[in-house]
Amino acid sequence: MDFDFGKYAFYVWGCYGVSAVALIGLTVLSVVAHRDRAAKLKALQETLAAEKAQKVDA
Amino acid sequence: MIISWLANPERFSKVFAPVRPYLAAATAILFVWGLYLCFASPEDYQQGDTVRIMYIHVPAAWMGLFTYLVMGVSSFFGLIFRHALADAAAKAAAPIGAVFTALALITGSLWGKPMWGTWWEWDGRMTSVLVLFLFYIGYMALHASIEDETRAAKSTAILALIGLVNLPIIKFSVDWWNTLHQGASVFRADGPTVAPAMLWPLLIMALAYHLLFVWLWLVRIDCEILSRKYNGLRARISFREGGA
């Protein structure tokens, strides 16, 4: 394996760099958004369950 | 039959949640293997080391088209059967397709400069791929601009279906018009014209890109399901509080 691409280094590494940043970025954003939505929904469901339990007690 | 069974958002989430970690692992393994082959493959006798751009440019372009097809089919089902999951599937695919298409344009430009002597040319292939990217952006902008989910689903589905016309234009643009871009060299009736030492890294990377798409798509569909559930609950609370 040779990583010295001579006069084409900028173009080759540029392509791999941009692709890595874009695909890793998309992955991180998607996973973070998913975790965030799951946490928000869980918190809301717990609040509603607590309210329901309070009403039953009352 | 299976599709209609899976069309239930709750069931969809339950079925695919355990599959996602395995898909993520398979994607990572294929990327490591594919990248190793990308750098271990020989340089081209004419293009030199710039041929290594092919291993990430071509799969990105294929995925830009494939993702739009997925978005179009999902939109069709959403429009005909008015099923929320179909709209969620189309909406989830759009940002992934936009990124793949943007990568195809950027890496294509970075390949074009040393090989063709230009970053950009307004020819059939490049212009039609730019139009594809604009369809993705338009789809996402339209979805974001309409608050009512049902109206947004209907309007964006129509836009996605109109955009499907562009797919054969992209595919056959190199045959229909004079272009700097080379013609098909993998999916040909008489077989691929790419040497096996370069074809294998290309196919492995294409498979890695496909798996990445499927995994990201499943994550984003589930995210959309959770969002809609959350918004539904919030709306019910607001209605109850407003009525009290």
Q: Which of A16-30, B36-50, B196-210, B216-230 has the least mean pLDDT?
A: B36-50
Substitution target from B27, B230, B231, B237 for chain A, most A beta carbons within 10 A: B230
3-state secondary structure of B123: coil
Contact across the interface for B226 and A41, Cβ inside 8 Å: yes
The token duo for B210 is 């496909």
- Residue B4 placed within a domain: no
Q: How many domains does chain B have?
A: 1
Chain A residues close to B219, C-beta within 8 Å: 30-31, 34
pLDDT of the residue at B6: 66
Nearest one of B218, B187, B164, B180 to B58, comparing CA atoms: B187
Q: Given this model, what pLDDT does residue B161 score?
A: 96
B107 vs A contacts (CB less than 8 Å): 15, 18-19
Print the domain residue range for B207: 20-181+191-243
DSSP string, B60-79: HHHHHHHHHHHHHHHHHHHH
Q: Tell me if residue B43 falls in helix, strand or coil.
A: coil
> For residue B77, is it within any domain?
yes
ipTM at complex level? 0.89
A19–B56 C-beta distance less than 8 A: yes
Flag whether B8 is in a domain. no
Give the global pTM.
0.91
- Output the six-digit token pair for B139: 């789809």
- Whether residue B11 lies inside any domain: the answer is no
- Grouping H, G, I as helix, E, B as strand and the rest as coil, residue B44 is strand
* Residue B93 belongs to some domain of the structure: yes
Contact of A14 with B52, CB cutoff 8 Å: no
Instruction: Tell me whether residues A5 and B49 touch, CB distance under 8 A.
Output: yes
Q: Is B226 an 8 Å CB contact of chain A?
A: yes
pLDDT, tens digit, 9 for 90 and up, residues B22-63: 999 999 999 999 999 999 888 888 888 899 999 999 999 999
Q: What angle do CA B28, B34, B37 make, to 5 degrees?
A: 145
